[in-house]
Amino acid sequence: MPAYAAKRFAVALLVLFVVSVLTFTFTNVAVDPAIAIAGEGATDAQIERLRREYGFDRPLYVQYGEWLSGTLAGDFGTSIRQRRPVLTMLAEKFPVTATVGGLALILAFVVAVPLGMVAALRPNSWIDRFALGFAVVGMAMPTFWFGLVLIIVFGVTLHWLPVSGTGTAAHFVMPSIALSYYSIPIIMRLTRAGMIDVMASDYIRTARAKGLLPRTVLFKHALRNAVIPVVAVAAVQFGHLLAGSVVVESVFALHGIGYMAWEALHAADLPVIQAVVVVLAGFYILLVFLSDLLNAFLDPRIRIA
């Protein structure tokens, strides 16, 4: 196990390194940071001076090295537009994104796992068809549009929930619902498929033959095993939800890191953009690493192969 973990960790670090190089290079090639800092109407001489002042005239790999050593020390640079440390801005906004993403994940599980289970126990019944239809609709519904529909129905027509902002807990209800529907189809389908496999397995037949209560068979034997692949996917889905929250954040005017990145893009605020991309990627890599470990822990065959 330790050898397996060490290997996965090394790969994770390497991936993160490549992602950071890609992000840094691409953004610096596409935008001249000196022009972005100088803003509209700056003369060539001013831009040239800024370029030398900030060290943008040095080779890219030197700048990358400097950025990397700063980042490793927890310093993501200073926002061009807001002139504040990017780390402070991240620390301010990340809780909002994590709250929406976390709530969406919990909601997706609460809806999708029981639905997938029931659908698997009664294949081709009306509940199975309903679950399938629910998933098919969820996959075709654009998240941002679903969010707008929620706003019209529950915010404007029924006045049940606030339409935008982050003031109270009620503000997080609609964004989390909108975002969760993105993950529900995949989690539901996985649970259903896993459950059907497990219910057809020998050990369930044995458990039934022993005369165990159907309830015991279902919860102690079947569900535990069916849920393993789903739990592993949860980590990956959480990463997707955090990354995808830029869409709901803009629909509901939630000031999370997605919204911050979106604003930064309009101002070509490179340090902020780089930090958000690398932090989200790093988070995703960490989650995948943890889910790999969990999988290996639950299923010894993986860590030997």
Partner 1 sequence: MADPGFPPDTLGLVPMPSRRAVLSRRVFSHVGLLIGAGLIAVIVIMAIFAPVLAPYDPYAQDLSNRRIPPVWHAWINDHHKASWAHPFGTDRIGRDYLSRIIYGARISLLIGTLAMLISGTLGTALGVAAGYFGGRIDMFVNFLVTTRLSLPLILVCLVIVTLFGGSITTIILALGFLIWDRFAIVMRSVTLQIRNLDYVTVARANGCSSAYIIFREILPNVANALIVVATIEMAVAILLEAVLSFLGLGVKPPLPSWGLMIAEAKTDMFFDAWLIGIPGIALFVLILAINLVGDGLRDVTAPERRA
* Interface residue list for partner 1 (CB under 8 A): 11, 14-16, 18-19, 22, 26-27, 30-31, 136-137, 139-145, 148-149, 151-152, 156, 189, 192-193, 242-244, 246-247, 250, 258, 261-262, 265-266, 268, 273, 276-277, 280-281, 284-285, 288
Centre a 10 Å sphere on the Cβ of residue 61 and count the other Cβ atoms it contains: 11
- How far, in Å, are 7, 291, 296 from residue 262 at the CA level? 36, 29, 37
Three-state DSSP class for residue 200:
coil
- How far, in Å, are 115, 197, 232, 263 from residue 124 at the CA level? 13, 15, 27, 48
Whose Cβ is closer to partner 1: residue 56's or residue 144's? 144
The C-alpha atoms of residue 92 and residue 272 are separated, in whole angstroms, by: 13
Alpha-helical regions (H) of 31-172:
33-38, 44-54, 60-72, 86-121, 126-140, 143-150
- Nearest approach, Cβ of residue 280 and partner 1 (Å): 4
- Nearest approach, Cβ of residue 211 and partner 1 (Å): 32
The C-alpha atoms of residue 76 and residue 82 are separated, in whole angstroms, by: 14
Whose Cβ is closer to partner 1: residue 143's or residue 207's? 143
- Nearest approach, Cβ of residue 144 and partner 1 (Å): 5
- Nearest approach, Cβ of residue 141 and partner 1 (Å): 6
Whose Cβ is closer to partner 1: residue 145's or residue 297's? 145
Whose Cβ is closer to partner 1: residue 173's or residue 236's? 236
Whose Cβ is closer to partner 1: residue 85's or residue 229's? 229
Residue for token digits 């998933």?
A: 135
- Nearest approach, Cβ of residue 252 and partner 1 (Å): 12
Q: Give yes or no for a contact between 89 and 263, defined as CB atoms under 8 angstroms apart.
A: no
